[in-house]
Amino acid sequence: MAPIQTEKKGVVKFGVIGDTGTANLDQQEVADSLAKICRRDGCDLVLMLGDNFYPEGLKTLEDPLFTKAFLDIYRELKIPFFPVLGNHDVKGNVQAQLYQSRFHRFWNMPNYSYSFETWPVRFHAINTNCHLNAWYRLYQSFDEHSMDNSGKPWNVVFGHHPIYSQGGHGDTDLVQQFIWNVLFEQEVDFYLSGHDHHLNALRKGDSGPYYLVSGAGGAHYRDREDIEDFSTSNAESLFVHRDTGFLWMEIH
């Protein structure tokens, strides 16, 4: 994909939302809050972390849920959105989500996994519904850029399932953690995910990436009675919020 132009050279401002596709008041309130922040502080793009359409993705290219849960909800945000697939999305017609990119200029999903750059950030989108394929594609993405001389960018990886999370689903399995730690941990600055319906910031040790969970863009844990029983994580939890919300990031 061609580099994305930002409002200010060398500065990237973006929103991060996940598990959005409820098409209800909670999703609308999060969207309105994000739009307010973007008007005040600026936004160049938005990352969508999967489960874009509940309960079973899109059925067809003309599915009215695309209008209800995306076009109508985010109509104030006239900036590029970059989605990945969640576990609910793959229950439907995933091609319908890919092909929306041909008809709606703010929806940018060229493939299941893809990368794009807006200096000084290189974004890597992965389809975590198939971990082995996701790691292979991510390895390819890093390998393709290993010989460029443009300086070391910030590397941001985003997918649906967390590596680490102090939520209802918790950490990924130990095999995936091992693969991640061996191949990618030292190359990545931020790993962004959804799946758990809260906001959570974690880090493992004093080095390596920050793991940011933003899975409360429509779904939430507000009414869960078992929150105190949620799993602990192999990473240190720095912040947690169990209601709806989003992330806003600025990198330069």
Q: State the pLDDT at residue 147.
A: 47
Residues 6+ away with beta carbon under 8 Å from 82: 45, 46, 47, 48, 108, 109, 116, 123, 125
Mean pLDDT on 232-252 = 93
Percent of the chain with pLDDT over 90: 70
Residue 6 lies in a domain: no
Residue 170 lies in a domain: yes
pLDDT band at 117 (very low <50, low <70, confident <90, very high): very high
Contact between residue 39 and residue 31 where contact means Cβ atoms under 8 Å apart: no
Q: State the pLDDT at residue 228.
A: 67
Name the domain count of the chain. 1
pLDDT band at 49 (very low <50, low <70, confident <90, very high): very high
Q: State the pLDDT at residue 150.
A: 59
Higher pLDDT, 19 or 133: 19
For residue 147, what is the domain's CATH number? 3.60.21.10
Return the H-helix or E-strand segment holding 134: helix 131-144
Residue 210 lies in a domain: yes
Residue 202 lies in a domain: yes
pLDDT in tens, 57-109: 999 999 999 999 999 999 999 999 999 999 999 999 999 999 999 999 999 99
Mean pLDDT on 197-205 = 93
Contact between residue 166 and residue 193 where contact means Cβ atoms under 8 Å apart: no
Full domain range(s) for residue 191: 14-251
Q: Is the pLDDT of residue 234 over 80?
A: yes
Residue 4 lies in a domain: no
Residue 238 lies in a domain: yes
Mean pLDDT on 33-58 = 97
pTM above 0.95, yes or no: no
Residue 176 lies in a domain: yes
Q: Which of 9-23, 77-91, 195-209 has the lowest mean pLDDT?
A: 195-209
Mean pLDDT on 201-224 = 90
User: What region, left, alpha or beta, does residue 10 occupy, with left being phi > 0 and alpha being psi -120 to 50 degrees?
Assistant: left
Residue 243 lies in a domain: yes
